Structure 1
Amino acid sequence: MRALFGIGILIIILMLTGCNALAQPTPTPTATPFAPFEVKTAVDWVNVRANPGYLFAVQASVRKGTVFTVLGKSPGGEWIRVENDKGISGWIFAQLLESPVDLRAVPVIQPENVVTVMGRVADRTGKPISGIQFMITQGEAPNQQRTDAMTDPEGVFYAFMPPTVRGDWVVEYTAISCTSNLMDEKCNCIGGTCGSPEPSKMTINLPDFPALVFEWK
């Protein structure tokens, strides 16, 4: 009888212990702080610009293999904020860098003193279309001003321009990247047909303009 009583007490203790363990709050995971890391330029004469875009001043042109520390990326991820121990700092187009780390994991830095032209490309179901290249131009060659931007995985492109830009600019579809979700691993259009955005071109007036929307058809 005493043995049964002892077993009963032990079961109660185990049940209470288990309940207390279940009642303990689950630890909340903490975000890992970003640790700057080094990259190298992949080709000769890579331009380091004052802001993320082809219309900004070139701070320096550097040779292949020049080492920089990564500080962040622009919205859309096409441009990387860098600096090095030679006193050079600015923005480099991401595809011109060799990196041991996936640059898509770098935190976003919002550039200052820019006009941002944004647009989104999606199909009729609302699915975002990535890897769609646009050019944003004003004027005619040889004095034409131009910058380019590509849609990210959310189907959004960001073109950064100097705060002094004014007047009419043309936003025009130019190409599909092999990284687009429309392409297979061999850089062929899935299903044999790529399609195109509608409209393929529009005119905006800077610095103020509505959000741009393109439907992929």
Structure 2
Amino acid sequence: MFHPRDRADADAGAAGGARRHGRVRTEPRLNAERGTTTAPRPPVLVVGVGSELRRDDAAGRRVVERLRGKLPTDRVELRSVHQLTPELADEATGRDLLIVVDASVDATTVTVQNVRAEATPSAFSHRLDVPALVRLSAALGAPPAEVVTVAIPAHDLSIGTDLSPATAHDVAVAADHVIVLCRGSTSRPRGTVAGGGTDGPGQH
């Protein structure tokens, strides 16, 4: 779940710094153990984060479930995880766009924001916050060119598997925003990012 202070780490006007790293891995990757090559990574990675057992905390993962079958798998990779871990930094390297979707006790509406990797890490209920994940990805060689968070308001974090009605509605809204972001990215040639300003969909 996004901590209330995470939004201080998100700056819609600071995505330009991340965009300096517009390169992506377009070449096939070598599987060192098997000596074989694998297909290039899709340019967009969407990560839904949360606990499946704490009701609204699973909102990010529910978004990923809604997206399956709606986006081209050669352009968009979907991941559903309990928490952000250092291993995901390698998964994020060389991407054109990284989107992290998570529940937030601070958000009052679905909020889409660009993230600057230079931000100071904040308290975060998962093992890494998003800026720290990007910095680690940069240390591994190539951070994602653009990073966006989608925060979904969380109303009920009690034990259970059902979302609250309000959060269930916002999951559908968030999924629509992610689709727009992915289609905007995949319509551009690989290795490029959107030019001009950094204003995103914002709050809805």
TM exceeds 0.5? Answer: no
The structure whose Rg is larger is 1
Higher strand share: 1
Higher helix share: 2
TM-score by length of 1: 0.22
Larger RCO of the pair (alpha carbons < 8 Å, separation 6+): 2
TM-score by length of 2: 0.23
